[in-house]
Amino acid sequence: MSLQQQVSAAFSEHGSLAQAMPDFRSRPQQQEMAQAIAEAIEQQQQLVAEAGTGTGKTYAYLVPALLSGGKVIISTGTKTLQDQLYQRDLPAVREALKVPVTVAMLKGRANYICHYHLQRASQEGRFQSREDAQYIPLLQSFAEHSTSGDKAELVEVPEQATVWQQVTSTRDNCVGQDCQFYKQCFVMEARKQALAADVVVVNHHLFFADVMLRDEGVAELLPSANTVVFDEAHQLPEVAGLFFGEDISTSQLMDLARDSQMAYLTLAKDCVALSEAVPPLEKACRDFRLVFQFEGARMPVQKAQTLKKFDEAYQSLLQSLAALTAVLETQAGRDPLLEKCWQRGEALLALLEAWLKGNHANLVRWVEVFSQSVQLHATPLSVADGFGKQLNAQPRAWIFTSATLAVKSDFSHYQGQMGLLAAQTKHWQSPFDYGQQALLYVPTGMPEPNSIAYTAAVAAMSLPVLQASRGRAFVLCTSLKAMREVHALLKQAFETQGLDYPLLMQGESNRTELLDRFRAHGNAVLVGSQSFWEGVDVRGEALSCVIIDKLPFAPPDDPVLSARIEKMNAEGKNAFMEYQLPYAVITLKQGAGRLIRDEQDLGVLMICDPRLVEKPYGRRIWQSLPPFRRTRVQQEVEDFFALINSVA
């Protein structure tokens, strides 16, 4: 029986999935998608597949992948989906199909406790807070009894606890085979299991970090893989850009300084020169940060070089790093940790020297400023060539799937970005009845999106809609500044009008906790920015309205975007239509996708931006969205919610 026939049988009305899963319902879109993936696996083809929300794309790729009999790598956009696949979906499908496949999950090394660094942290006792010190016994017990060492399993220590930085390793500070705990290493054990498994679940960052850096274990997996599946594939161009470029941050230099000081105290107290070389590097990092005024600033290298004291501060960084590296070289033979510090110093020095001198036509050099650090980027204008080498290295199937890859069923933007010009493309509409379940509302009377009064108008126009929906809403903003302003205006309006909807905002706590609170309240309004545009699943009445402030065009002052636009226009292309507009459409589809998550969901999508109906390109945008019933009349929104509320 061919793979396609096996897949067809599994998805049939009385097939193995229906027999094993009481809630399973056969959907035509899901069956067609599974067949297309089975064909791509059999033919060792590239397939780009967009499947609307509710298609059931996870099972559509898992079933042919597990039945194929070959080695499969599945890469996800988030660790949340990675955990869900490994812990829930894969075991369920494997059990239903009764196939004897072995499954492993591989994460980046920062997700696993490191015995070596845990011991060092315990002995040295240098913690950022009292809480960090109190977590150490928990971490020691976990390291002793856990089989995986995966920090996701230790829920008693919060994910954002600063102690994790001290008890996990990085590519820079792992001492490798010289480590006394090498045989017990959780990272090495995870790699070993992944190499032996039939199906391995990774995430995009790990996949590309490894492909580029040959560090985390995927490089060993890839040659034997018959099929690679990328779920949430819309994130790939950005993630790939991070790894096909070269970055260096002052925080990396500060980490090296800290580790060198620790090595001096514990391993080389007789080398006073080592201790004396650390403070100048720390001072140079702080001075370099002071060159830039604003946190969040992003600028091309040409602009950075015009800033007062930039060149002086940059040279100081180079000189102090070179001086520390020279001292480390004299001590490297004494201990693996000192040798590792020296190797890091050499690598960072080479990156720092190359960054300012770089003149590669495909790389954009730019600066990003954070509250405590500065990151120097060299980002590729295109990842198509670099990724294309991976695609064509040897025959295998490559599957790229997401709910948002196309602009009005046209995949050319995504294919061009990723070098997938030879790929098959397929599109399946969501099985949801958007015409009955949802309303798209674009208010009238909104000012121009670039006017000073725009954000206030968003808040004012949102208020009656939030009253009609009785809270139960996401307000998604395209910038952190707009998010804070909308939150403040709604808070004031809620107090003035006596509205008791709980008002939450991104950043008040981590995303998981905020979503738990949002669901628990049942009538909350959550104001968010980028973190809530995708990867968020709230089903039922708790989320009945999604309000989007603006069409999510990338900020025009972004250095990489500016360089891409300049390059495309110089080549005679229309950068707006071929790059900026598709980017905005795919991002908007993600935000809109938060609203209707199953067949019972009902709600209103409100897009405040008048360009959606007033600009010629607006039609292309709303035609790329699901087929909502559309209105510009506020009363129709109120009537829609009145009907929902009366039924409820």
Q: What is the pLDDT of residues 314-326, one digit of tens each?
A: 999 999 999 999 9
Residue 88 DSSP code: I
Residue (of 475, 422, 435, 374) closest to 625 by Cα position: 435
CA–CA dist 114, 622 (Å, integer) = 49
- Model confidence, pTM: 0.89
CA–CA dist 507, 144 (Å, integer) = 34
For residue 215, pLDDT beyond 70: no
Helical (H) or strand (E) element with 439: strand 438-441
DSSP string, 555-611: PTT-HHHHHHHHHHHHTT--HIIIIIHHHHHHHHHHHHTTS--STT--EEEEE--TH
Question: Residue 102 corresponds to which tokens in the numbers above?
Answer: 């072995």
Task: Give me the architecture of the 3-108+188-238+383-428 domain, per CATH.
Answer: 3-Layer(aba) Sandwich (3.40)
Q: What is the domain partition of the chain in residue ranges?
A: 3-108+188-238+383-428, 113-168, 244-380, 434-647
Q: How confident is residue 611, by pLDDT bands cut at 50, 70 and 90?
A: very high
What pLDDT score does 461 carry?
Answer: 97
395: left (phi over 0), alpha (psi -120 to 50) or beta: beta
Q: How confident is residue 212, by pLDDT bands cut at 50, 70 and 90?
A: low
CA–CA dist 302, 294 (Å, integer) = 17
CA–CA dist 453, 304 (Å, integer) = 31
Residue (of 244, 242, 254, 250) closest to 279 by Cα position: 254
Domains 244-380 and 434-647 share a fold: no
Residue (of 185, 189, 208, 205) closest to 197 by Cα position: 189
Task: List strand residue ranges (DSSP E) for 55-198, in order.
Answer: 72-76, 103-105
Question: Residue 508 corresponds to which tokens in the numbers above?
Answer: 């008040």
Is the Cβ–Cβ distance between 624 and 407 less than 8 Å?
A: yes
Q: What is the pLDDT of residues 559-591, one digit of tens each?
A: 988 998 988 899 999 999 999 999 999 999 999
| For the chain, percent of residues with pLDDT exceeding 90 | 66
- CATH, range 434-647: 3.40.50.300
Question: Residue 238 corresponds to which tokens in the numbers above?
Answer: 């950005």
Is the Cβ–Cβ distance between 73 and 218 less than 8 Å?
A: yes
CA–CA dist 304, 297 (Å, integer) = 10
- CATH, range 244-380: 1.10.275
Token pair 């000192």 is at which residue? 338
Length of the chain: 648
What pLDDT score does 219 carry?
Answer: 64
Is the Cβ–Cβ distance between 281 and 345 less than 8 Å?
A: no
Q: What is the pLDDT of residues 313-371, one digit of tens each?
A: 999 999 999 999 999 999 999 988 899 999 999 999 999 999 988 777 788 999 999 98
What pLDDT score does 252 carry?
Answer: 93
Residue 235 DSSP code: G
